[in-house]
Amino acid sequence: MTTHSTLVSALYRTEHRRQRGHARRLVGNAATAEDVVQQAFANILGRAAQVPLEPSAAYLARAVRNLALNHLRDARRRAAVEVEGADLEALADLSPSPEMVALYRAELRRLLQAIAALPERRRQAFVLSRIEGLSHDQTAARMGVSRNTVITHIVLAMAELDRRL
């Protein structure tokens, strides 16, 4: 194994999980985030002559961010092209099919069950903030806790919901 690939391998072991989380926050999808991070590492390996001798976590973070933003931009372009090229009559009927309604209802049931399974205070913070639309300060006032506690509850709730769904 060359020195560059050894360094990239070590960087992968230390940074992969963190960069995947960073990419997920940007693209909103775990599978796409994994693809973005893998592409960043592949690019660094493939460009050994052009990248710094010791690729750093900061260099990797910038590469992941750029690839994630490129993905989002490309997705918007594809969506715009698909809408422009779509049959406008097909777009006129926006009601979901019975199969889609059944799928949506099943997904909603899963989500509601996952929310109901959250610990009480975590669930309360999540529902007040994310479902009822209260600000963190308003949620904190209603719950009688600090703003930071509300944020912690929401972050933990979202992580748990992500694991369950």
The 10s digit of each residue's pLDDT in 130-152 is 999 999 999 999 999 999 999 99
- Please list the residue range(s) of the chain that carry CATH number 1.10.10.10: 95-164
Tokens of residue 40, six digits: 């960043």
153 pLDDT band, cuts 50/70/90, is very high
Q: Which pLDDT does position 92 carry in this prediction?
A: 61
For 3-85, the fitting CATH number among 1.10.10, 1.10.1740, 1.20.1050, 1.10.510 is 1.10.1740
- The answer on pLDDT for 81 being more than 70 is no
* Mean pLDDT, residues 60-74: 90
Domain(s) of CATH 1.10.1740: residues in the chain: 3-85
Alpha helices, DSSP H, located in 28-146 = 30-46, 57-85, 88-92, 98-116, 120-126, 136-143
pTM, 2 dp = 0.49
- Residue 55 reports pLDDT greater than 60: yes
User: Looking at residue 129, what is its pLDDT?
Assistant: 92
Residue 118 · residue 126 · CB < 8 Å: yes
Which pLDDT does position 56 carry in this prediction?
82
CATH level 3 topology of 95-164: Arc Repressor Mutant, subunit A (1.10.10)
- For the chain, what percent of residues have pLDDT higher than 90? 42
Burial 106-117 (b: 16+ CB within 10 A, else e): eeeeeeeebbee
> Is the per-residue pLDDT at 85 higher than 70?
no
Q: Which two tokens stand for residue 145?
A: 């806790």
Do residues 136 and 129 make contact, with C-beta atoms less than 8 angstroms apart? Answer: yes
Average the pLDDT over 100-112 and give the result. Answer: 90
Give the integer Cα–Cα distance in Å for 145 and 89. 52
Say if CB 116 and CB 161 are below 8 A apart. Answer: no
